[in-house]
């Protein structure tokens, strides 16, 4: 990736390769990158405000935008919007189960949660337990995996949708590509990924505090190509405060779409974040 970028201190890099060589140039540095990223979140309160970086007020707009996008996709990809199927989703970087509880569990019969921060996952398990939260007998949180994305391999053919939101910035480019290549195996026929992320205006922005990278739209699209994924549809998230990064939603498939659906987009860490 040739695009130039900056870090959260304003330092400029000529390319992503230069930044990655410095950050993860050897095995020890890469281990530290991931350890420090998890350690940052281990110091964050297990609440909506905590997992959203102090911007808990964006929760409603975020869920509303995600639901509209998901609804469109379910109608297009599955007959009768999947109502006559047993639908299963994976919530990657699930945190406290915010997206599962507010959105996914209403549309999917089963949702598995994947989260490397143990106290977040404990809070999700408690919040989604049958005693405290019942949508119906046929909609439930099934498995809770305390595993980082870069180490996770899903069961083959389990998921209709793999949802990845505000977490992929913690993965290096190589691990981003290897994650999606492994995760493809977890999709059922006709299944797809939804990636929802902050978008840098150009190139990338490295957050030195939580060890994450915010990528540009072009940066993401180049990585999708390297993953062997096809862009089925994308949409801008509306209604977020202006001081935050722009956010895009991407629907990605393993097969080439017959027609690529495009929406107008304006190019703009793993949570809503002030532009640095």
Kindly report, residue by residue over 251-270, the tens digit of the pLDDT.
999 998 775 455 554 444 46
Interval 210-220 mean pLDDT: 98
Q: Where does the chain have alpha helices with state H? A: 16-24, 27-42, 48-51, 59-77, 98-99, 105-107, 118-127, 173-184, 217-227
Q: Name the residue among 149, 107, 111, 109 with its Cα closest to residue 128.
A: 111
The rounded mean pLDDT for the chain is 92
Characterize the bridge pairing of strands 88-92 and 110-114: parallel
| Cβ–Cβ under 8 Å, residues 233 and 193 | no
Buried b / exposed e over 7-44, threshold 16 CB at 10 Å, is: bbeeeebeebeebbeebbeeeeebeebbeebeebbeeb
Buried b / exposed e over 160-192, threshold 16 CB at 10 Å, is: bbbbbbbbbbbbbbebbbbbbeebbebbeeebb
Kindly report, residue by residue over 9-51, the tens digit of the pLDDT.
999 999 999 999 999 999 999 999 999 999 999 999 999 999 9
Instruction: Tell me, rounded to whole angstroms, the distance of Cα 263 from its chain centroid.
Output: 20
């Amino acid at each position: 990736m040739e695009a130039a970028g900056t870090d959260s201190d304003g330092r400029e890099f000529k390319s992503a390769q230069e930044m990655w060589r410095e950050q993860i140039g050897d095995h020890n540095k890469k281990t530290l990158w991931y350890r420090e990223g998890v350690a940052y979140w281990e110091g964050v309160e297990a609440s909506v405000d905590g997992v959203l970086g102090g911007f808990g007020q964006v929760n409603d707009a975020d869920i509303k935008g995600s639901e509209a996008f998901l609804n469109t996709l379910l109608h297009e990809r599955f007959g009768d919007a999947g109502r006559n199927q047993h639908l299963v989703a994976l919530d990657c970087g699930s945190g406290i189960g915010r997206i599962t509880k507010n959105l996914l569990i209403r549309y999917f019969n089963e949702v598995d949660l994947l989260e490397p921060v143990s106290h977040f996952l404990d809070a999700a398990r408690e919040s989604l337990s049958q005693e405290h939260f019942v949508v119906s007998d046929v909609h439930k949180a099934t498995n809770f995996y305390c595993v980082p994305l870069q180490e996770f391999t899903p069961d083959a053919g389990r998921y209709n949708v793999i949802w990845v939101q505000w977490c992929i910035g913690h993965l290096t480019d190589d691990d981003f590509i290897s994650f999606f290549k492994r995760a493809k195996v977890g999709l059922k026929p006709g299944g797809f990924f939804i990636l929802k992320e902050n978008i840098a205006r150009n190139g990338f922005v490295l957050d030195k505090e939580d060890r994450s990278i915010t990528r540009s739209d072009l940066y993401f699209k180049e990585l999708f190509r390297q993953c062997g994924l096809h862009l089925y549809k994308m949409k801008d998230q509306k209604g977020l405060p202006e001081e935050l990064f722009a956010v895009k939603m991407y629907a990605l498939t393993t097969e080439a779409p017959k027609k690529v659906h495009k929406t107008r987009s304006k190019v703009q860490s793993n949570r809503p974040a002030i532009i640095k």
